[in-house]
A = this chain, B = another copy of it.
Amino acid sequence: MRPKCAHPAHDCPSAACETCEVRDTATCAVLAPDELEQLADIRTVVPYAKGQTILREGERADFLFNIRAGAAKLYKLLPDGRCQITGFLFAGDFLGLAHQDSYAYSAEALSTLELCRFPRDRFEAFAIRLPKLEHRLLTTAVDELAAAQEQMLLLGRKSAVERLGSFLVQLSRRAARRGQPDSPVEVPMTRAEIADYLGLTTETVSRVITRLKTSGVIRVLGQHRIAILDPRRLLAAAEGMAGEEGRP
């Protein structure tokens, strides 16, 4: 008799909330130990392979998710295939807030992923009894809203160099907030995904990276790692102040 599921995630010690890596940063951080235990009862830990689709835009929103480990992308498509990535999610991020019972976007695993999955009806029933959980979700939604508005500024008004600059600064800051180094920054997405996030093409992304590299602002360490050599100039480039830095 062998176990039903070969993956270590299902109800094995590593899946326990108490030892979860994102216990103190994810939404669950607001819950007391006993509440956490109740939440764990309605949860399933689900593994996803790189490239696998987690949810699809327009689909009935039956589940909510929390990322335990790995990275994911959220995106929307036009009928002819044009793609806009609306966000990247990392460990601790919440996923699946629905607009009128349907998901507003599709989501896909960028790397091997481990998710906590909650049936929406049961999660919502749980949340209604815990105002602090809803409050936390509100805070999260507002933060995402602020990020979305920043991204609108980027997509509507920034040049290609400014977009790449902003993107690298953002990656660096988020890594730091997750306790990782802020300089050789991990870039788990492909050039095409960066392009779809920044409203550019793969070619332009590649050209701009080359330019930043040549001008000594960054160093490219393999396809998925970038070292930020001159954070000051990178930040200046991000906000459209190229050549205006220096004078105090």
Contact = CB atoms under 8 A, between A and B. Distances in A.
Contacts of A150: 76, 104
Contact of A141 (B76, B80, B145, B199): B145
A146 interface: yes
Interface string A55-94: 0000000000000000000101011101110100000000
Given A104-B149, A149-B76, A152-B152, A99 B135 contact: no
Contacts of A241: 79-80
Contacts of A151: 152
Interface in A112-151: 128, 131, 134-135, 137-138, 141-146, 148-151
B86 A155 contact: no
A79 B239 contact: yes
Interface in A28-71: none
Interface string A184-222: 000000000000101100000000000000000000000
Interface of A: 74, 76, 78-80, 82-84, 86, 97-99, 104-105, 128, 131, 134-135, 137-138, 141-146, 148-153, 155-158, 196, 198-199, 239-241
Given A99-B146, A134-B134, A137-B138, 11 more contacts: A76-B150, A76-B152, A78-B158, A78-B239, A79-B241, A84-B152, A84-B153, A86-B149, A104-B145, A128-B131, A156-B199
